[in-house]
Chain A
Amino acid sequence: MSENTNPQTTTDPQTETATTNGDQPLTANSDQSLTANSDQSLTTTAGETVEQTRSEWTEYEFRGDAKMAVEDLDVHYGDDHALKGVSMEIPEQSVTALIGPSGCGKSTYLRCLNRMNDRVSSARIDGSVKLDGQEIYQDGVNLVELRKRVGMVFQSPNPFPKSIRENVAYGPQKHGDLDTGLLARLLNRSDAEERDELVERCLRDAALYEEVSDRLDDNALGLSGGQQQRLCIARCLSVDPEVILMDEPASALDPIATAKIEDLIDDLAEEYTVVIVTHNMQQAARISDQTAVFLTGGELVEYGDTDQVFEDPHSERVEDYITGKFG
């Protein structure tokens, strides 16, 4: 894990524009674009270096198997081309960080991994995503099973307006793995004990159990923001996923809660494959094993070992972004 979080580059980037970069438009497709010899046009924001994206920058060799393999993934929202030909392989039991400026498509990419983009009616997805070698964008994919295996934690904590216990037990109960209904209780087949064990285990895994053990029947909305987010992680763990997707899980939290979530992610990586979107580059450098940098226009510019990406990026645009020249 990298300790060097903010490499100071001394090389003067060959910026095309010598103008100041005080204002940074959030949208893509600003004034500078040039047609590359590849089939894509390169889109940059003001202050960015103009350069060609090379495919070897996104080639990342790792030992072990790829948990998820994405190939030539394109996403359109209506006319908007949000993700352009992204290919990357995500190794098992590790933390993969996705960083990049706002609107660069990292959340879109994340949502493609468990097909949450299906819920957006205007989204059109082309390309291939494989989970353990099985294509998830094909007919006959069981979305329930896919989302059980690839869980998700959202940017803002979104517990249900139910008790803490019910929140954690919600997934297994709805999948029929736990039955604590009236009929089951009448027939003496209730899984209440299993449920309580599961709730305790998930809350412990999410480092929340000690704080809430005496009020499991209280409403989850009464928890603090950080506790709510850890509850959401516990809820995600309850269906026993293999991959956990996190969309800026700490962006709405204070530093202490953020630190707790980061420790938690570190622990989770021993068992699960974690993919995390973050705006916070220090956070990405601290917790991730490999980092993927998306830049304006929805393309994956660089993907590799976190230390390498932060200390010695191949792309000058990535270097500019990491050192805070734009973004």
Chain B
Amino acid sequence: MAGERRTDAKLVESETTETDAAAGAAVGLSAVLFALAVAALFERVSLTGSLFGVGTVTLLGGLLTALGVAVVAFGVGSRLGYVETDPDRSVGLVAGLGAALPWVVVGGSAASQTLGLGTAVGVVAGVAAGGAAFALTVLPCEDLGSTLPLGCLLALTGLVFLSGVIGPEWVWELGWTQQAAITAEFLIPASTLFAALYGGWASAKAYGGFGARGRHMGAYVLVYLNALSIVAFLLILVAYVAVQGLPGLLNGAELGLGSGPQTTVLGASVALPVSVPFVMNGVALFNDFQGVLPAIVGTVWLVVGAVVLAVPLGVGAALFLTEYAERGRFTQVVEVATNGLWSTPSIVFGLFGFAFLVPRFGNGKSLLSGMITLGFMLLPLVVITSREAMLSVPDEYRDASAALGVSKWQTIRSVVLPAALPGVVTGVILGVGRIAGETAPILLTMAGGTFLPGSQTVDVLGSFQFTTAPPFVANPALMEATSALPYQLYALISAGVGASSNVGNADEFRWATALVLLVVVLSFYAIGIATRYYFRRRLRHT
């Protein structure tokens, strides 16, 4: 039995055949379709417009149809023996379910909506179409099963686009009590996206000649398309914010000697060679261009304060838990508590700050309470990641150090901590990414006005003062309410602040604020990555 079914694959497949080339082209075609669909989803490609002289929807439909026909041709060709492949007996249940799902949707919606037969008939038709697709996938040999239902689906989708049944103007009013509709702008890119995934998978299997190698190819293409789409979403998001925010950010920007504001560098007063009013000004009545400098500085100080508070505490707690405390009930409880704290919603932390910290610092919102609140938010993640990092330091290091007669604390300081530092920094990076963008805690504990004049930019370093009474130092800047970028953005967008004030183009101002927030957070991230890289290098190649 096993002998009969043994596949006789060639060991060396030297030359690329025309079939291979065609299958490779089909994989490439599905990648192109995938990219087009992503671009259309984010409105980088207009559905009503045209590409290469052809209407976008027509182009998508044509490509989909071609891909579908090609996929079916591979399957049938392999079955009839025109193409040399080594298919298995069946594709398997998972692939069957995967192929049935789109057919349920297509069959159901075609019967109930396009033909207008009602919901009950739609359900029956959907189940029937799905069942047929499932049977057609699972029952025949692998080459037919993995191509025929999917190829037909692709061709059908393409023909629907080509024939204009679903065109750029198409809308499906759902008829709910709420206003809800599925528009062509969403449906066409989304269905193209899925169809391209299916087509890519099927043609990759054909490229691999089905069987084990074909399955490997199919999985490979799926994984790659997924990874690419994630990177694409990320890039599109950043690019979108950048494109929208740049005009506001560069509003009134100048480059040239002496164009910037006066600052003091090493005791000498110099004018900066660049002037970007948006990040160098506050908001004032007589400013030519308004800016968000107080919010930027507020965000930076917030993060610095939270890190200064949380990192020593968190690393210390992790040290105690890993190196000193007996592993048992107590450490388990602490672990559960830290994990729970990390999952606690930020508004709860904010409320804690509002009810507990604010009354203790002069009963007004202050930078200090914001820092402490965010520090508490950061603390659990620092504890969790530091603990993991310290646990992963090999025990051999500790043994070697102990065998030299070095005390425990010296061992921790000289061996365990340096080896754990990259992990600790990773935790801080993740945590800072979260707290730098937090709005709710800041809203409750720190936020003052939305549009602060440049003169209210917090100057933490410059406002330390000596006093005659204990505690002999004071820092009024820490005790003042100020603004931060996420809060400012929230106020601008949600509360509608800004439309009536004198910021000029309010929309540009908002996008520019978002861009600056993104840049600030990414800068913290970059600093963190650089730090981690430095410590890793020190550990590996001195």
Take A163-B542, A174-B414 as given contacts and tell me if A144 and B400 are in contact as well, using a CB distance cutoff of 8 Å. Answer: no
Residue of B397, B399, B540 touching A116 (CB-CB under 8 A): B399
Residues of B within 8 A of A170 (CB): 401, 404, 406, 414
Within 8 A of B (CB), among A146-198: 146-148, 151-152, 154, 156, 158-163, 166, 170-171, 174-175
Inter-subunit contact A174/B403 (CB<8 Å): no
Inter-subunit contact A119/B399 (CB<8 Å): yes
Q: Is A98 an interface residue (CB 8 A)?
A: no
Residue of B404, B419, B542 touching A151 (CB-CB under 8 A): B404
Closest chain B residue to A219, Cβ basis = B542
Identify the interface centre among B326, B415, B542: most chain A CB within 10 Å of its CB.
Answer: B542
Inter-subunit contact B542/A162 (CB<8 Å): yes
In the complex, what distance in Å separates the CA atom of A154 from the CA atom of B401? Answer: 11
Q: Is A232 an interface residue (CB 8 A)?
A: yes
Inter-subunit contact A158/B394 (CB<8 Å): yes
Within 8 A of B (CB), among A224-244: 232, 235-236, 238-239
Q: Is A114 an interface residue (CB 8 A)?
A: yes
Inter-subunit contact A174/B404 (CB<8 Å): yes
Take A161-B418, A174-B410 as given contacts and tell me if A217 and B403 are in contact as well, using a CB distance cutoff of 8 Å. Answer: no
Within 8 A of A (CB), among B371-420: 394, 396-397, 399-407, 410, 414-415, 418-419
In the complex, what distance in Å separates the CA atom of A252 from the CA atom of B253? Answer: 65
Q: Is A145 an interface residue (CB 8 A)?
A: yes
Q: Is A221 an interface residue (CB 8 A)?
A: yes
Q: Is B541 an interface residue (CB 8 A)?
A: yes
Inter-subunit contact A154/B542 (CB<8 Å): no
Inter-subunit contact A144/B405 (CB<8 Å): yes
Closest chain A residue to B403, Cβ basis = A152
Q: Is A222 an interface residue (CB 8 A)?
A: yes
Q: Is A218 an interface residue (CB 8 A)?
A: yes
Q: Is B234 an interface residue (CB 8 A)?
A: no
CB distance from B287 to the nearest CB of A (A): 48
Contact pattern, B 159-179, Cβ under 8 Å of A = 1, otherwise 0: 000000000000000000000
Residue of B326, B394, B400, B541 touching A219 (CB-CB under 8 A): B541
CB distance from B11 to the nearest CB of A (A): 36
Residue of B396, B410, B541 touching A154 (CB-CB under 8 A): B396
In the complex, what distance in Å separates the CA atom of A143 from the CA atom of B407? Answer: 9
CB distance from A148 to the nearest CB of B (A): 4
Closest chain A residue to B415, Cβ basis = A160
Task: Kindly state the interface size class of chain A when it binds its partner.
Answer: 35 or more
CB distance from A225 to the nearest CB of B (A): 14
Residues of B within 8 A of A162 (CB): 418, 542
B contact face: mostly helix, strand, loop, or mixed: helix
In the complex, what distance in Å separates the CA atom of A246 from the CA atom of B401? Answer: 15
Inter-subunit contact A151/B403 (CB<8 Å): yes
In the complex, what distance in Å separates the CA atom of A280 from the CA atom of B410? Answer: 36
Residue of B404, B410, B540 touching A147 (CB-CB under 8 A): B404
In the complex, what distance in Å separates the CA atom of A143 from the CA atom of B402? Answer: 9
Residues of A within 8 A of B337 (CB): none
Inter-subunit contact B418/A145 (CB<8 Å): no
In the complex, what distance in Å separates the CA atom of A171 from the CA atom of B401? Answer: 8
Inter-subunit contact B400/A232 (CB<8 Å): yes
Residues of A within 8 A of B403 (CB): 114, 116, 147, 151-152, 154, 236
Inter-subunit contact A171/B542 (CB<8 Å): no
CB distance from A227 to the nearest CB of B (A): 16
Residues of A within 8 A of B540 (CB): 161, 219, 221
Inter-subunit contact B405/A239 (CB<8 Å): yes
Q: Is B21 an interface residue (CB 8 A)?
A: no
Q: State how many residues of chain B have any CB contact under 8 Å with chain A.
A: 22
Within 8 A of B (CB), among A66-92: none
CB distance from A273 to the nearest CB of B (A): 16
Within 8 A of A (CB), among B309-347: 326
Closest chain A residue to B402, Cβ basis = A119
In the complex, what distance in Å separates the CA atom of A163 from the CA atom of B410? Answer: 18
In the complex, what distance in Å separates the CA atom of A162 from the CA atom of B326? Answer: 29
Identify the interface centre among B326, B402, B414, B418: most chain A CB within 10 Å of its CB.
Answer: B402
Closest chain A residue to B399, Cβ basis = A154
In the complex, what distance in Å separates the CA atom of A166 from the CA atom of B414? Answer: 11
Residues of A within 8 A of B418 (CB): 161-162
Q: Is B219 an interface residue (CB 8 A)?
A: no
Identify the interface centre among A114, A174, A218, A236: most chain B CB within 10 Å of its CB.
Answer: A174
Inter-subunit contact B539/A161 (CB<8 Å): yes
Within 8 A of B (CB), among A99-131: 114, 116, 119, 121
Inter-subunit contact A171/B397 (CB<8 Å): no
Inter-subunit contact A148/B404 (CB<8 Å): yes
Closest chain B residue to A235, Cβ basis = B404
Inter-subunit contact B402/A147 (CB<8 Å): yes
Inter-subunit contact A175/B541 (CB<8 Å): no
In the complex, what distance in Å separates the CA atom of A119 from the CA atom of B415? Answer: 17
In the complex, what distance in Å separates the CA atom of A162 from the CA atom of B419? Answer: 10
Residues of B within 8 A of A148 (CB): 404-405
CB distance from A264 to the nearest CB of B (A): 18
In the complex, what distance in Å separates the CA atom of A154 from the CA atom of B410? Answer: 20
Residues of A within 8 A of B542 (CB): 162-163, 166, 217-219
Inter-subunit contact B405/A161 (CB<8 Å): no
Residues of B within 8 A of A219 (CB): 539-542
Beyond the given pairs A148-B405, A151-B403, A175-B406, 12 more chain A to chain B contacts, judged by CB atoms under 8 angstroms and listed by A's residue number, are A114-B403, A116-B403, A145-B405, A147-B405, A158-B394, A160-B415, A170-B406, A171-B405, A174-B404, A219-B539, A219-B540, A235-B404
Instruction: Name B's A-contacting residues (CB within 8 A).
Output: 326, 394, 396-397, 399-407, 410, 414-415, 418-419, 539-542
Nearest first, the 10 A-B pairs at minimum CB distance are: A147-B405, A158-B396, A152-B403, A171-B404, A148-B405, A144-B405, A174-B406, A163-B542, A219-B542, A161-B539
Q: List 29 A-B pairs, Cβ < 8 Å.
A: A116-B399, A121-B326, A144-B405, A144-B406, A145-B405, A147-B403, A148-B405, A154-B399, A154-B403, A158-B400, A159-B400, A161-B419, A161-B539, A161-B540, A170-B401, A170-B406, A171-B404, A174-B404, A174-B406, A174-B407, A175-B405, A218-B542, A219-B540, A219-B542, A221-B540, A235-B400, A235-B404, A238-B404, A239-B405
